[in-house]
Structure 1
């Protein structure tokens, strides 16, 4: 039964029976303090400091396994697939490449889009495959914005969507002008949103394929 914690910006901690994964740890340039989270595995979508502060993560074993690009990885019962994408609409000419990670943990499939900057190709969608929980940037500026996020959600068709990479009240020094999550909430028509501090996922509490996608707003635990 994996549990999800949002550490702010694009950073999540996924903890299951076979280990703990930290996705996109950030540095203080974000305007937040990530603290000292611990993990067996760290994934880095691209080498910008606000997504690649691996030094902030404490290893839970003698050697923490670092994943920094496309490929297939198996670590202690957790499988991770990195899919090559781009940080912009110009195939990386402006901001470089980005890796989307598909993480199989405890029979749940998570997908972390990193700083995706474009809609996905058919080949990329096939590489990603079926997704239960999607972490998607919605703040715009250097990534996709709310409207583009909605389009990509329809491409992937996940069961649960958790937005990330948007403006937080605690952020005061971040150089990019990100939109608030409220714009995404409005775009998808959510009402009476109550942010959740932690989310436990099982195959039993996932929406069925016949049900609508569930949107979850998470409160950063920093």
Structure 2
């Protein structure tokens, strides 16, 4: 069994690390997300982008180590909107598994999952979930999802507005919490998850930014 370290860099960007290596989800290009800038020294064994938009595919911001990806990887293609992809196309949910723990990054999921998708999502121990609407599912839909997941898991919210960070069209995290009051706001920029004792919580992390 492994421990997985999850670091949050704002918007939909996370770094997932084990003792065997690391991967980054959805790095954003400089200037693509108001109020956010990635650190200059990001490095990983692999980079995964949910879709080809500037705020999710800034692969040049992450230096690859040249080592092989330490995770077993699988994908699930879902609409980026509520019109079966006709508005914004499609994006990928990415599943990373290592040492008995699975992390799912939901990308810019634009509609509630179908039953077969819930089955796949319910296999994850950690879910990185959008919640603030307009480009993704909104807080009400996220709350509905929380009630349909079939196993205890850690849910980390992403893709919301906070202060000067994020898009004006998104709900702020304080607005999200009025709809999902069980959210626990952590002041840390990262969390380490033990595969033997995954907390059944909904949390936010403080984004780690360039100095």
TM-score of the pair, normalised by structure 2: 0.88
Once the two structures are TM-superposed, the CA of residue 176 in structure 1 deviates from its matched residue by 5.0
What is the CA–CA distance in structure 2 between the aligned matches of 1:137 and 1:77, rounded to whole Å? Answer: 25
Alignment match, 1:168:
162
CA RMSD of aligned residues (A): 1.9
Q: 2:49 aligns with which of 44, 47, 50?
A: 44
| Preserved CA contact (<8 Å) 2:46 2:69 | no
The answer to which structure, 1 or 2, has the higher relative contact order (CA under 8 A, 6+ apart) is 2
Separation (CA, whole Å) in 1 of partners of 2:115 and 2:130 = 20
CA distance in 2, matches of 1:156, 1:146: 16
Matched residue pairs, number? Answer: 203
SS at the partner of 2:204? Answer: coil
The 3-state SS of whatever aligns with 1:2 is: strand
How big is the shift at 1:81? 0.7
Unaligned runs of 5+ in 1: 63-74, 208-212
Candidates 31, 37, 55, aligned match of 1:33 = 37
* Correspondent of 1:184 among 176, 190, 196: 176
Would the alpha carbon gap of residues 55 and 168 (structure 1) be closer, same or farther in structure 2, given more than 3 Å must change? same
Which moved further from structure 2: 122-131 or 1-10? Answer: 122-131
Give the superposition deviation at 1:128. 3.7
Task: Give the distance between the partners of 1:76 and 1:33, measured in 2 at CA.
Answer: 25
Instruction: Please list the CA deviations of residues 88-138 of structure 1 after superposition, one character each: whole Å capped at 9, or x if unmatched.
Output: 111100000010011102321111100000011122223445111111001
Partner of 1:106: 99
